[in-house]
A and B are shown apart, each in its own frame.
Chain A
Amino acid sequence: MEPRIGVFVCHCGTNIAGVVDVNRVVEAAAAWPDVVFSTEYKFMCSDPGQHLLNDAIIRHKLTRVVVAACSPRMHEPTFRKACAMAGLNPYLFEMANIREHCSWVHEDKLAATLKAIDIVRAAVAKARLLEPLQARMVPVTPKVLVVGGGVAGIQAALDIANAGTKVIMVERSQSIGGHMAQLDKTFPTLDCSACILTPKMVQVAQHPNIELMTYSDVENVDGYVGNFTVKIRQRARYVDESTCTSCGVCLEKCPKKVPSEFDEGMATRKAIYRSFPQAVPGRPVIDKESCTYFKNGKCKICEIFCEPKAIRWDDQDRVVEEKVGAIIVATGMGLIDPHGLGQWGYGRFPNVLTGLEFERLNNATGPTGGRITCKDGSEPKSVAILHCVGSRDRNHKEYCSRVCCMYSLKFAHLIKEKTHATVYNFYIDMRCFGKGYEEFYNRLLHEGVKFIRGKAAYVTDQAYGDEETGKLVVSAESTTLGQVLRVPVDMVILASAVAPQNDAEAVARLFGMGRSPDGFFMEKHPKLEPFATATDGVYLAGSCQSPKDIPDTVAHGAAAASTALSMISRGMVEVEAATAEVLKDFCSGCKVCQDVCPYSAISFHDDTHLAEVNASVCKGCGTCVATCPSSAITGHHFNDLQVLAQIDAAFAWE
């Protein structure tokens, strides 16, 4: 039976119709063989648009549908569903991308219209040869892996665990808590960060549905949505978890001091340590790289003082394999390397701090117990906070880091509260966009903080006069005064840019994610699915996707949790139907396909001397199809005939 093809051309408001002559596309389509119906509509994805599609399938007995609209990466699932509603196999639908690939990238209306006609012709040519496929349903492992124990991961893990689903949380440092645990107060409410975070950390540790693995890394990820196998390396802690009582005597007695990561290197920790006093879990670990015993074979002081005898010198890394149905990546953010910011004096002047260093300085658990002091112990008489250091700067990061304006206001308030210092904020724009943020800014305007609209150009110790002697001088052009100012201060805080974690590239590869131009992990859709990735079953939470403040991070974590849960709670998940299949009559048994398959999805039967694709392991990449020298493998939905037909129709050749 000849196929009956329907072509639906979308205006997308003026997004397509503003450039492409939609009616001309409809007319052209009507003239092609097998096209029995062609029409246009303002918004094909809308409810009336889908109704139109539905009615036309039934009325015109369509057996193939082509929608010419946006990218299939955007609305292919929408229209496949609409086709299925009308009783048409969803794989008999083909999408022609005349928006992202045509109307949005061309200005010449004639050239764009002709290109749109070509694109639709190629889609029709492929549609003619499409075959119905049955989506396969596979059971889901009802367990979620949460990678990263910051507030995003904590929120996601608790939401999932509270719904009764098992969670494995993997955190690479000794304790969960992430960056939020390093903060003192949070903007704009000024509530204490630890007071709202540490109870949640404890909940994670105590939750019967959460298995917490700190000091651990995800090493390998295999499988597919609903059925991942992950390898987790639990690094040797050298402290027995079941015997240790977290008494902390070892922390006092250990003679070896190293800079504390948690305190941004402003204080020291011991070689046996927990990240901070409220760490979860509270049991310390021995940092093998720093430990005197591991270096020189002598010391063991921790062991001598350990009453419960919990030190295990022979402890080994353990690699465990776990099966999970979904993965939430919540690996958080990093900060731009401040050593590249020399013009603002970082690394040259001891009283130039990054925002995070000031957080620790100001924190009750920090190196000074929360007293704001210069390196010599004196109280600063004046402090400059420089906004947008490395952010909104083409030399460093083009994007806005989103948290700095607000934490700079918070710092200004806290400095005013704790000291008598004059506080200057050097800013480009104040970006106070969240709930209660603008109000907080207004409050600060009345607290005597000085706001100078102008980005600081540099920080120097070269004094031009007595009032600058012994001071750090911030030079900036005040764009409101139209004047270059030199402001002498005792302390400079750099609101340095938020950046992707240093190992973001490797992590993206591990979980099969992409990265956006800024280096953060790429979401499936920037508006509608900012918590999903291009890999089904892998979700994003928190600032690994883009810089976020705490409310947004928590909301993002909850969103990732609910998306993962809705997949898990269905119990079954649809997996790729467009897989490869060996045509037995043509297979010569050469096994080349086995070598190229990235998933070992092809088995070889020695008795029949034939290869066979295991459809539940095959992901449909088609590499074996292109490799088979006998053309004995067909790649469903992208078979040779379909792709060649599309190439043949790609241009009006004559």
Chain B
Amino acid sequence: MSTPFEPRIVVLCCNWCTYAGADLAGTSRMKYAPNVRLVRVMCSGRVDPSFVLRAFQDGADGVLVAGCHPGDCHYINGNLKAMRRFPALEKMVAQFGIEPQRLRLEWISAAEGDVFVRVVNEMTAQVRALGALDWRRRAAVGPLPEHAG
């Protein structure tokens, strides 16, 4: 019997809101699907589109980008830069043949532990329904390149 498919989701999140929201989910002892791994950057504005592609390339079945609500950015408006970049990234990801539900942008504040839990559970269920992405095989992109910068 094969083990059931468990999606692997990379969360690229900002330090001030979403990471802290996930901390709050922890201190409040909320429970959620163990399918996510958080990668912390200081601001969602720091999320380079290449980070998202790299996660898919590595084998992630879904990627969540999350930051402060518009207007609440710790760095004034870094999240708005992330927001503006996102549609282009979505288009690119779609052109690569990746289903749009596998990539998500969410605003989760430091007070929204419950929202973090809901988003993680929702996305885990969605990606589970889609099945494994296995993008490297699907796109035959070959081995990882050495990164330049």
Tell me the A residues contacting B by CB distance below 8 Å.
Answer: 71-74, 97, 99-102, 104-108, 111-112, 114-115, 118-119, 122, 508-509, 512, 514-517, 522, 534-535, 578, 583, 586, 596, 598-599, 619-623, 625-627, 631-632, 634-635, 638, 640-641, 643-644, 646-648, 650-651, 653
List residues of B (26-49) whose CB comes within 8 Å of A's CBs. Answer: 26-27, 29-32, 34, 37-43, 45-49
- Shortest 10 CB-CB contacts between residues of A and residues of B: A100-B26, A622-B46, A623-B45, A631-B149, A621-B75, A598-B76, A621-B43, A650-B37, A104-B26, A653-B59
CB distance from B73 to the nearest CB of A (A): 8
The chain A residue sitting closest to B6, CB to CB, is: A111
Instruction: Find chain A residues with CB under 8 A from B26 CB.
Output: 71, 99-101, 104-105
- Chain A residues closer than 8 Å to B40, beta-carbon distance: 72
Query: Which residue of the partner chain, among B22, B47, B144, contacts A626 with CB atoms under 8 Å?
Result: B47
How far, in angstroms, from A643 to B110 measured CA to CA in the complex?
A: 22
Partner of B149, one of A108, A118, A640: A640
| With known contacts A598-B78, A625-B46, A626-B46, A514–B38 Cβ distance under 8 A | no
Does the CB pair A651–B59 fall under 8 Å?
A: yes
5 A-B interface contacts by CB (under 8 A)? A71-B23, A623-B46, A640-B149, A651-B10, A653-B58
Does chain A have a CB within 8 A of B72?
yes
Point out the residues of chain B lying under 8 angstroms from A514, CB to CB: 16-17, 20, 72, 109-111
- Is the CB–CB distance between A534 and B74 below 8 Å? yes
| Bound Cα distance A535, B78 (Å) | 16
What sequence of 0s and 1s flags, for each residue 68-80 of chain B, a beta carbon within 8 Å of any chain A beta carbon? 0001111111100
Most B Cβ at <10 Å: residue of A508, A596, A644: A644
Other-chain residue from B16, B58, B77 in contact with A598 (beta carbon distance below 8 A)? B77
Minimum CB distance partner of B19 in chain A = A73
- Complex Cα–Cα for A514 and B43 (A): 15
A360 CB, min distance to chain B CBs, angstroms: 34
Check: B138 CB closer than 8 A to any chain A CB.
no
Establish whether residues A651 and B8, one from each chain, have CB atoms under 8 Å apart when the complex forms.
yes
Given A74-B23, A517-B112: 17 more A-B contacts, CB < 8 Å:
A97-B38, A105-B29, A111-B34, A112-B34, A122-B39, A508-B72, A515-B109, A515-B111, A599-B76, A621-B45, A623-B43, A623-B45, A623-B78, A626-B81, A627-B45, A635-B42, A641-B147
**With A100-B26, A111-B34, A631-B148 known to touch, is A648 a contact of B54 (CB < 8 Å)?**
yes
CA distance A634 to B41 in the complex (A): 13
* A596 and B45 contact, CB distance less than 8 A: yes
Taken together as a complex, chains A and B put the C-alpha atoms of A512 and B78 apart, in Å, by: 13
Q: CB distance B60 to A100 under 8 Å? A: no
Contact, CB under 8 Å: A643 / B37 = no
Nearest opposing residue in chain A for B40, CB measure: A72
- Asked if A647 and B10 make an inter-chain contact with CB atoms under 8 angstroms apart, the answer reads yes
In the complex, the chain B residue whose C-beta lies closest to that of A519 is: B111
Would you call B8 and A647 a contact (CB within 8 A)?
A: no
Given contact pairs A122-B39, A651-B60, A626 touches B72 in the complex (Cβ within 8 A): no
Q: Is the CB of A105 within 8 A of B110?
A: no
Q: How far is the CB of A105 from chain B (nearest CB, A)?
A: 5
Bound CA span A117–B27, Å: 21
Residue of A nearest to B113 (CB): A517
CB <8 Å contact, A647 and B31: no
Of the candidates A100, A622, A623, the one having the most CB atoms from chain B within 10 angstroms of its own CB is: A623
B122 to chain A, nearest CB (A): 16
Residues of B within 8 A of A638 (CB): 41-42, 46
Question: In the complex, A106→B117 CA distance in Å?
Answer: 11
Residues of B within 8 A of A641 (CB): 147, 149
Report chain B residues within 8 Å CB of A534.
16, 20, 74, 110
Assembled-state Cα–Cα distance A114/B92 (Å): 32
- B38: which A residues are within 8 A, CB to CB? 97, 101
Pair B111/A522 contact, Cβ less than 8 Å: yes
Closest A residue by C-beta to B111: A517
Q: Does B25 lie at the interface of the complex (its beta carbon under 8 Å from any beta carbon of A)? A: yes
**How far apart sit A646 and B39, CA to CA, in the bound complex (Å)?**
7
Rounded to whole Å, the gap between the CB of A581 and the closest CB of chain B is 12
Residues of the A chain whose Cβ atoms lie less than 8 Å from the Cβ of B96: none
Note all chain A residues with C-beta closer than 8 A to B75. 598-599, 619, 621, 623
* Residue from B23, B58, B59, B147 having most chain A Cβ neighbours under 10 A: B23
B105 at the interface (CB under 8 A from A): no
Interface positions, chain B 51-65, Cβ under 8 Å from A, are: 51, 54-55, 58-60
Write out the residue numbers on chain A whose beta carbons fall within 8 Å of the beta carbon of B10: 647, 650-651
Do residues A640 and B46 form an inter-chain contact, with CB atoms below 8 A? no
Q: Which residues of B contact A632 (CB under 8 A)?
A: 149
Chain A residues, Cβ within 8 Å of B76: 598-599
Q: Which residues of B contact A643 (CB under 8 A)?
A: 39, 41, 48, 51
Contact A108 B34 (CB under 8 A): yes
Whether the pair A623, B23 counts as a contact (CB closer than 8 A) is: no
Cβ B51 vs Cβ A122 within 8 A: no
- Which residues in A have their C-beta under 8 angstroms from that of B112? 517
The distance from the CB of A397 to the nearest CB of chain B, in whole angstroms, is 15
Q: A101-B26, A517-B111 are in contact. Are A115 and B34 (CB under 8 A)?
A: yes
A272 to chain B, nearest CB (A): 38
CB-CB < 8 A to A101: which residues of B? Answer: 22-23, 26, 38
Residues of A within 8 A of B20 (CB): 73, 514, 534
Nearest CB in chain A: distance from B130 CB, A: 17
- When distances are taken between beta carbons in the complex, the residues of chain A under 8 Å from B39 are 122, 643, 646-647, 650
Contacts of A535 in B (CB 8 A): 74
Looking at the assembled complex, report how far the CB atom of A461 sits from the nearest CB atom of chain B, in whole angstroms: 41
Q: Which of A111, A644, A653 contacts B147 (CB 8 A)?
A: A644
Q: How far is the CA of A511 from the CA of B41 in the complex (A)?
A: 22
Chain A residues near B8 (CB-CB < 8 A): 650-651, 653
Partner of B30 from the list A105, A111, A118, A598 (CB cut-off 8 Å) is A105
Residues of B within 8 A of A625 (CB): 46, 48
Instruction: Name the distance in Å between A133's Cβ and chain B's nearest Cβ.
Output: 14
Given A100-B22, A598-B78, A115 and B147 touching (CB < 8 A)?
Answer: no
Select one of A104, A626, A627, A634 contacting B29, CB under 8 A. Answer: A104
A105–B78 touching, CB < 8 Å: no
- B101-115 contacts to A, CB under 8 A, are 109-112
Cα distance A111–B58 when bound, in Å? 21
Which residues does chain A contribute within 8 Å of B48, judged by CB atoms? Answer: 625-626, 640, 643
| Among candidates A118, A517, A578, A626, residue contacting B45 with C-beta atoms closer than 8 Å | A626
Known contacts A101-B26, A596-B81, A623-B81; A647 and B51 CB within 8 A of each other: yes
